[in-house]
Structure formats: structure tokens, C-alpha cells
């Protein structure tokens, strides 16, 4: 019985540690790519566009379809070959911020739909990522804590 309780105790701690890793995925890109590939590839594509105004995202990039499938008010996705960006500009409002618009282009470089902002795209990807991982990491973490607690409680009550 002691060996089983020790195994449960260790298993509970390991599960809690795994839950912590899930809750902190953004710090571990190798794990983030496996657990939340849409977020990983989508933000990778956006980061490429942020860095260089002349770069475009082509169909072969893993983040291309991630962005295209979330593009707001883009009814006709056929013929879209590239995702490109505009020059950075300052957006005034309650909060002044630097902003970059992104656009979808056909094979001739003509815009195919409405423009979108990088910050809006990042927000959508982040919301999806958090929703996917929050519940899962919480269940794993607290399941591990519960298993550790139960094994300790059983051992405590056994020794009374």
C-alpha cells in the first residue's frame, strides 16, 4: 500500500508540473508548436510581417491558412495568394498606438478583400489560444494537486 501511495504522490506532483507547463506555453516555443499550432504559426506569420514591410506570407507558410481562415468579412478566399502589410501608421483615439494593416492579395498583387490590423489578428489568435489551453491546464494542474492531496491524506489517516 505504501508503494501505491508513493506512486500516486509522485504522479500527482508530475501532473501538477505538466499543468503548469500548459499554463505557461508561451515561454516554451517547442511545446507551444505542438499544443497550439494555430497560435504558433499565426503569430509567426504576423511577426514576419511586422519586421519587414516588403515580406509577404505565401500559401506554403503554415500561418497562411491560419490567418486566412480568421480573416473578417472575407467571403471569397479563392485566388488569395499572399498576405502582405501596409506601412505602419499612428492610430489616434482613447489610446494612441502604432498600427499596421494587413491585406490579402491575388497572384497579380491586387487586393482581394478588406484590410485587417495586426493587433486585431493577434488578439483573435490569443483569445483562441487562451480558451483552448486555460481549461485544459487547470484540469491537469488541479487533478495533480488532488491526487497528491488524496495520497497524503490516505497515508495520514492510515498512520493514526
SS (H, E, C) the chain: CHHHHHHHHHHHHHHHHHHHHHHCHHHCHHHHHHHCHHHHHHHHHHHHHHHCCCCCEECCCHHHHHHHHHCCCCCCCCCCCEEEECCCEEECCCCCEEECEEEEECCCCCECCCCEEHHHHHHHHHHHHHHHHHHHHHHHHHHHHHHHHHHHHHHHHHCC
Give me the residue spans of the domains in the chain.
2-158
Mean local confidence (pLDDT), 19-48: 85
Q: Give residue 26's pLDDT.
A: 74
Q: Are residues 11 and 3 in contact, defined by beta-carbon separation less than 8 angstroms?
A: no
Distance of alpha carbon 31 from alpha carbon 122, whole angstroms: 19
pTM of the model: 0.74
Q: State the chain's mean pLDDT as an integer.
A: 86
Higher pLDDT, 95 or 70: 70
Read off the pLDDT of each residue in 119-144 and give the average, rounded to a whole number: 85
Amino acid at each position: 500500500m505504501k508503494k501505491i501511495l508513493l506512486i500516486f504522490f509522485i504522479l500527482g506532483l508530475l501532473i501538477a508540473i505538466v499543468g503548469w507547463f500548459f499554463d505557461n506555453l508561451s515561454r516554451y516555443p517547442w511545446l507551444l508548436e505542438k499544443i497550439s499550432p494555430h497560435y504558433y504559426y499565426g503569430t509567426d506569420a504576423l511577426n514576419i510581417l511586422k519586421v519587414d514591410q516588403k515580406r509577404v506570407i505565401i500559401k506554403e507558410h503554415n500561418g497562411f491558412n491560419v490567418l486566412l481562415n480568421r480573416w473578417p468579412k472575407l467571403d471569397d478566399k479563392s485566388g488569395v495568394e499572399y498576405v502582405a502589410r501596409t506601412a505602419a501608421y499612428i492610430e489616434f483615439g482613447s489610446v494612441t498606438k502604432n498600427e499596421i494593416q494587413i491585406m490579402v492579395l491575388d497572384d497579380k498583387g491586387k487586393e482581394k478583400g478588406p484590410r485587417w490590423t495586426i493587433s486585431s489578428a493577434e488578439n483573435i489568435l490569443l483569445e483562441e489560444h487562451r480558451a483552448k489551453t486555460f481549461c485544459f491546464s487547470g484540469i491537469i494542474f488541479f487533478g495533480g494537486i488532488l491526487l497528491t492531496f488524496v495520497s497524503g491524506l490516505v497515508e495520514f489517516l492510515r498512520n493514526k
